[in-house]
Amino acid sequence: NLSLTWMLWAEAAIIPGLLSLIIVPLVLYKIYPPEIKSTPQATELAHNELQKMGAMKRSEKIMLFVFLLILALWATGEWTKINATVVALIAVATMVMTGVLSWDDVLGEKAAWDALIWFGGLVMMAGQLDQLGFMKWFAGTVGSSISEWACFPP
């Protein structure tokens, strides 16, 4: 009966995540040392490229806001009682309504929509089968059948 919230997941992942951010680059540096170890012109090049890009555009600011909003809503989902799926749909709707994404962009992700529809249908069917008692019946039937196999002693 453990409810895995976003915050609980983040608490569990923070230590391994931070350790990975420190250890993985060091290990990779030892295993695959870079051929070029000094790049003093990189800072100037990065500065010049940022100057070429100019200030953040309206759509980029909206995208940043939406990203921070969904991150906050996912993190506080336990308290706000806003489902993670609803948060994701709010984000997509906001980006479409503000013009950050076009409807064609959304429809162009056919594989993602296929996965969403199939996954949603399968989760719904599994829930209904469980409510009807099918899962318990199926587990009992299969369990009693395989308990007679030699590799699964009773």
List the pLDDT tens digit at each of the 154 positions of the chain: 677 788 888 899 999 999 999 999 999 999 999 998 889 899 999 999 999 999 999 999 999 999 999 999 998 988 899 988 899 999 999 999 999 999 999 889 889 888 988 998 999 999 999 999 998 999 888 887 776 776 655 5
Please tell me whether residues 85 and 150 are part of one structural domain: no
| Total domain count, the chain | 2
80 with 152, same domain: the answer is no
Please indicate, yes or no, whether residues 86 and 32 belong to a single structural domain of this protein.
Answer: yes
Between helices 58-75 and 84-97, what is the axis angle to 10°? 170
Q: Which residue range(s) make up the domain with 147?
A: 109-154
**45 and 34, same domain (yes or no):** yes
Whether 138 is in a domain gets the answer yes
Note whether 103 and 74 are same-domain residues.
yes
Radius of gyration of the chain (CA): 25
Q: Is 116 within 8 Å of 107 (Cβ atoms)?
A: no
Q: Which residues of 88-106 are buried (b: 16+ CB within 10 A; e: fewer)?
A: eeebeebbeeeebbeeeee
Question: What's the number of CA atoms in the CB half-sphere (13 Å) around residue 68?
Answer: 6
Domain assignment of residue 1, yes or no: no
Q: Do 130 and 90 sit in the same domain of this protein? A: no
CA 147 to chain centre: 39
Q: Are residues 86 and 126 in the same domain?
A: no
Find the helix packing angle between 110-131 and 134-146, rounded to 10°. Answer: 80
Angle between helices 6-31 and 58-75 (to 10 degrees): 120
